[in-house]
Amino acid sequence: MPKFLSLSLKTPFNASPMQLSKTLASIAISAVLLSVPFSTIAKVYNAEEYVHPVSPAKEHAKLSFVIAKQLQYQHYRQMVLDDNLSSKVFDAFLKSLDPNRTFFLAEDIKKFEKFRFLIDNNFRRGELENAFDAFNLYQKRHAERLAYTMNLLENDYSKLDFSIEEEIIIKRDELPWPANKEEQDKLTRQQLKNVIISFKLAGKDDKEIQELLIKRYKNQINRIKQTNNEDAFRIYINALAESYDPHTQYFSPRVSENFDIQMSLSLEGIGAMLQAEDGYTKVKRLVPAGPAEKAGQLKAGDRIVGVGQGVDGDIIDVIGWRLDDVVQLIRGKKGTTVRLELIPQKAKDEHKTKTIQIVRNTVKLEEQAAKKEIIEITENGQKKKIGVIDIPAFYIDFKAAQAGDPNYKSTTRDVKKLVSELKQENIDGLIIDLRNNGGGSLQEVNTLVGLFIESGPTVQVKAADGRIAQLNDESEEVNYQGPLAVLVNRLSASASEIFAGAIQDYNRGLIIGNQTFGKGTVQALQQLEQGQIKLTHAKFYRVSGDSTQNLGVIPDLIFPALYDKDDIGESSLPEALPWDQVKNVEHTNFPTVSSIFPALKSKHEKRVVSDPDFQYIQETVARIDKKKDQKTLSLNFKTRQKEYKESRQEQLEIENKRRIAKGDKPFKNIKELDDEDDILGLNDEHEDKEEDKDKKDSDSYTLLLESAHILVDYIQLQPANLVHK
């Protein structure tokens, strides 16, 4: 008799028939279990094992009261903490917990409704129980969804049917919450099927997909286990802070430390500002001259889905992780390598992630310095030299300046020197390239405007109490009086917008590119007993009286948008302060040349029709914009596979159209195109000539080159009586 049976036969001889029956049944079950491999025994995931309710700490009550008071009385948007604001915070809190309306049930939201108009009273009293109850229920519901997903993956993966016709709605943020568990289970199953289809289309087999997703969701379960009361408090207090405006934010002690490191630029990492969005870690912007910006592969809007250490370390899936935990993984010692798995912001193939590697380093001030180059343009038989000054940030070495160092670095000093050098080379016009420049020193943008105008106002600053101050360029000296263009894009923000706006208001030059970011507010940090709060206290206005807030600066000539303004920019952020106007300030205008704008636009449009690189940009942007309007996705694999092949074929045709027009050999198939992308993305050791070719083939250089052509047109079309020195 097998050993496991002999151990089981310990029933007393005088046992009742019922006892004997139970024993024999137990033996039968044991025999079945022990006769099959262990790996086939179903594991059932139970959400209750992963959740531990959290309660507010004593210091949280006082902190919530203090922050609420500071916001009410010190924020630019002087809102009263009343029922209206309470309702706004209520909606913001639920959205921060469940942005895609998949975790909470309709009955949960109905119960929360009694909390909607109590938040203002709760903050006045330092009461946090209602918020923590909602957070704990969210944790429970989140764990239930993860447990349900894991049970599908582990036990019912083969039963998922990809042949039936059904669709999933891509964005659910304005749809009702699921009515009941059955509807929620259906939604969770659809979401899982969608993820699996994406992996299948990217070439992964079922075993790989199953293992990868089990690992991903186990990681997310572990995140839930590690959640503490500080996480709950931070999410709730930021629902209040961000109801005032998107740049007002509470930093917990740990997050505050990360913020201080980022702002000091001493972080030994990749030089990227990150934010959490819908379970992903999203790149907000790159630090100028940082490792990521110099590597050229990471872009604003990219979503980081995995992080690996070294050139061959395993990629850890970070979907659903807390932002500060992802930051800890990415940060590391100078000289070490980190690998990032990305979903690119402008993905040519939305089903294919991209893995890049970046060597960590510190960001040095001198590496952020402005740089120059000269582009030669032949137009109508005439050769023109156009100088370009690329300004990555508005920087100044305050310590060196205060110490009296005569050689301290600053944007204005560096640009002044570069302008002098370019004038010695007899340039015919100058482009100031502010693309991707997120701003910096207000002092520097004021003095930089002064290099191109005689003395006068440059920007107005309005405080919360309504008082308006203006910054002025006091110097009569004009360092460059020749034809000028300013190149901007969606990532040109803050100080960049002040500069572009001033040049436009003075009629001093031509603004080319895309509508800028629209960051026209001023923040200050305030220390708290625990952490700190970043609070908006003023707003910028141009000398024309127009705000740069929300609307940004609209160029005179507009290029195809490489960044989606619904995704990136002030207008895409909830509760952004509105655009408005104040009284204009007197200033001396240069002679207007707006009469030549129609001719400029016409010449530009005729030229780019025959420019294969520009046409490629336009067609690629149009293709991606078309996909953006898609509301649903099919969950039938054959349908998705057909759509995927058609999309890839369209991509191949656009690429080959450009290659043929430039005299290059077209790709035979998608594999050749992908192989080329992989080589360009992973090879960091180009020869100088190859680097130069890559630069000139890039979308960025294509737009710069066309800007130079436009500036030459601008020079040639100007009235004869308008003389530039």
Q: For residues 379 and 676, what is the distance between their CA atoms, to the nearest angstrom?
A: 34
101-140: b (≥16 Cβ within 10 Å) or e: bbbbbeebeeebeebeeebbebbeebbbebbbebbbbbbb
Residue tagged active-site, from 519, 539, 546, 613: 519
Radius of gyration from C-alpha coordinates of the chain? 30
**One of 108, 390, 433, 505 is an active-site residue; which one?**
505
Contact call for residues 243 and 69 (beta carbons, < 8 A) = no
Cα-based angle 625, 627, 629 (whole degrees, multiple of 5): 80
Cα distance between residue 143 and residue 137, in whole Å: 10
Residue 594: active-site member: no
What distances in angstroms separate CA 209 from CA 195, 197, 214, 477, 581, one per listed residue? 9, 10, 8, 65, 54
CA 280 to chain centre: 10
Residue in the structure block whose two tokens are 């992903």: 280
Neighbouring CB atoms inside 10 A of 633's CB total 18
60: helix, coil or strand?
helix
Question: Which residue bears the tokens 């992080």?
Answer: 307
Q: Which residue has the tokens 């005299």?
A: 663
Task: Tell me the two tokens of residue 391.
Answer: 């300004």
Question: Would you say 132 and 199 are in contact if contact means Cβ atoms under 8 Å apart?
Answer: no
| Separation in Å, CA 201 to CA 532, 626, 638, 725 | 45, 20, 10, 60
Backbone φ/ψ region at 531: left (φ over 0), alpha (ψ -120 to 50), beta: left
**Active-site residue identified among 198, 410, 492, 494:** 494
The sign of the dihedral angle between the CA atoms of 583, 587, 591, 593 is negative
Strands 303-309 and 337-343, sheet pairing: antiparallel
136 forms bridges with which residues in the sheet?
none
**Distance from C-alpha of 496 to C-alpha of 475, rounded to nearest angstrom:** 21
Helix ranges, 586-636 (H): 597-609, 612-628
Rounded Cα gap, residues 451 and 605, in angstroms? 32
Q: Which is nearest to 227 in space by CA: 343, 419, 463, 53?
A: 53
Residue 505 designated active-site: yes
Tracing tokens 């290029």 back to the chain, one arrives at 559
Q: Give the pairing type, strands 484-488 and 429-433.
A: parallel
Active-site residue flag, 494:
yes
Pairing of strands 249-251, 272-277: unpaired
Instruction: Judge whether 572 and 565 are in contact, CB under 8 Å.
Output: yes
Taking alpha carbons only, the member of 307, 358, 319, 99 closest to residue 199 is 319
Q: Report how far residue 158's alpha carbon sits from residue 150's, in angstroms, rounded to the nearest whole number.
A: 13
Catalytic positions, written as ranges:
494, 505, 519
